[in-house]
Amino acid sequence: MPTVQTVLPSLTPLLPELVLAVGVMVLILYGSFRGERSVEGVNVGALLLLLLALFLVMSQPAGTKVTTLSGAFVQDAFSKVMKSLVLLGSAATILLSRDYFQRAKIDRFEFPILIVLCTIGMMVMVSANDLIALYLGLELQSLAAYVIAAFHRDDLKSTEAGLKYFVLGALSSGMLLYGASLIYGFTGTVSFPGIVSALHEDAGFGIVLGIVFVAAGVSFKMSAVPFHMWTPDVYEGSPTPVTAFFASAPKMAAVAMTVRVFIGALPDVTAIWQQIFVFVAIASMTLGSFAAIGQRNIKRLLAYSSIGNIGYALIGLAAGSEEGIRGVVIYMIIYLAMTLGAFAILLSMRRRNEMFETIEDLSGLSRTHPWLAFCLAMMMFSLAGVPPLAGFFGKFYVFAAAIKAGLVTLAVIGVVTSVVGAYYYLRVVKIMYFDEAKAPYEAMAPGLRIVLFLSSVVVILFWLLPAPLVGAAGAAAKSLF
């Protein structure tokens, strides 16, 4: 009998993921034995699990880069920051969802479980150090996301959103996989460090084709133009807390995954993919600002807004430099806060069990709910990029990085489109402050209050103490170069 020597790989860097995976199985057992009575307990349990994982991620050492599991998993400062954002987005989703799901009578214990499973997938994506881990993480995340998009299954729009997301998502996964297989075929390895050493400046046509397909696949997941068509429909059709989730945590993971692939595995062929992302950034910013103008539904408006915001974040990636990646990370931190805040307000627009989601329903909000209106106005000013709110700094860092990298045209187009975008953000403020007041909405649920408070603090007071976040983003970017 031949003996096989194996050493158990170091699992310490994997601890947050392991805690989530084991915890979610306990929750599944608890939920399936107790049935519908367990909803409250599973929600609390999932929230505590996510916060525990957040604590574990935060307490990981930031200075060193650790790879484990045959090099498939990497833990560094970048993964630390992006995983924290992912976990915050997921935890906020559970807080946002409680009240909505109870009233919509779709309060089932599977929702928090799917959110946690989705989060594991996103953390795998963020920490991926080879193409197989990347794809498996992406599939785990996407599959859970398709299901929760259709979670309100008796609602025609929700099922349509789930189906649309599934069909288009499967297509984009196929494209990503095809690109990955081409890269594997032409470099002979799936691990990112291996690809780096196998590639040099004059990469062949096969590599270029592979990069284009991978870029198409990740653009879909980030909902960047020209692979954005699913975004408005899925955002509008899904239950609102699910939309808040799609706009927050998976975006973080998709951007982190894109940075990992293109900065981590393909740094020597920047010239090939830089033009792709310059085009994608310009197209996303332009479409995001012009198409949002005609929207009346706030969810669709936020969908186009997220397309535009991804465009701005990609400016930093297109720069391809350490400053650029720092800009991307700062942008994503601030985008997370703005998005969650805006969705917390959208979820509180309710009168006698009826949700309102058009912009006209906000009219005169400043008289009925002055604080709510103030917070939303701050979110909108921040999304438009008005100083001294957080959104301004997010844009500032990516534009500065682009100019430093010689992409002046890209930065100028970014500034112009953000002026166009300001029109529809400020229109919301005008409707809230100067239009006829409507009947007041019901009081906010406690979960919504917590999310809105935290995100407002980040958005409004970022300029007072930017050092910790900017420092963390700087360390994250540094760990990649």
Report the nearest approach of other proteins to the CB of residue 446 (Å).
Answer: 26
Options 46, 49, 62, 72; binder of other proteins; rule CB under 8 A: 72
How many residues contact other proteins, by CB under 8 A? Answer: 33
Binding mask 434-473 for other proteins (x = CB under 8 A): ----------------------------------------
Of residues 160 and 268, the one with the C-beta less far from other proteins: 160
Of 349, 338, 219, 340, the closest CA to residue 297 belongs to: 349
Task: In angstroms, give the least distance from the CB of 178 to other proteins.
Answer: 18
State yes or no: residue 104 binds other proteins (CB under 8 A).
Answer: no
Min dist CB 24 to other proteins, Å, is: 9
Closest to other proteins by CB, 5 vs 353, is 5
378: its two tokens: 């701050």
| Positive or negative: CA dihedral 300, 167, 110, 102 | positive
Site map (CB under 8 A) of other proteins, residues 324-363, x = contact: ----------------------------------------
User: Of 122 and 373, which CB lies nearer to other proteins in the complex structure?
Assistant: 122
Q: Among 78, 100, 101, 151, indicate the residue that binds other proteins (CB under 8 A).
A: 151
Shortest reach from residue 42's CB to other proteins, in Å: 12
Give the one residue of 1, 6, 63, 202 binding other proteins; rule: CB under 8 A. 6
Residue among 117 and 203 whose Cβ is closer to other proteins: 117
Here the tokens at position 341 are 């805040």
Smallest separation (angstroms) from other proteins to the CB of 116: 10
By the rule CB under 8 A, 108 interacts with other proteins: yes
For residues 110 to 149, the per-residue mask of contacts with other proteins, x marking binding by CB under 8 A and - elsewhere, is: x--xx--x--xx--x-------xx--xx-xx--xx-xx--
**For other proteins, the closer CB: 35 or 468:** 35
Among residues 50, 73, 282, 364, which is the contact residue for other proteins, using CB under 8 A?
73
- 203 binding other proteins? (CB under 8 A): no
CB 180 within 8 A of CB 131: yes
Q: How far is the CB of 150 from other proteins (least distance, A)?
A: 6
From 5-13, 55-63, 97-105, 226-234, span contacting other proteins (CB under 8 A): 5-13
Residue 12's alpha-carbon distances to 9, 67, 73, 79, in angstroms, are 9, 10, 11, 14
Contact flags string 10-29 toward other proteins, x per CB under 8 A: -----------x------x-
**Choice between 68 and 274, CB closer to other proteins:** 68
Stretch that binds other proteins, among 2-10, 288-296, 354-362, 417-425 (CB under 8 A): 2-10
Closest to other proteins by CB, 126 vs 283, is: 126
Q: Is 95 left (phi over 0), alpha (psi -120 to 50) or beta?
A: alpha
**In whole angstroms, how close is the CB of 124 to other proteins at the nearest point?**
6
- Min CB(198)–other proteins separation in Å: 16
| Residues contributing to the site for other proteins (CB under 8 A) | 2, 4-6, 9, 21, 28, 69-70, 72-73, 108, 110, 113-114, 117, 120-121, 124, 132-133, 136-137, 139-140, 143-144, 146-147, 150-151, 153, 162
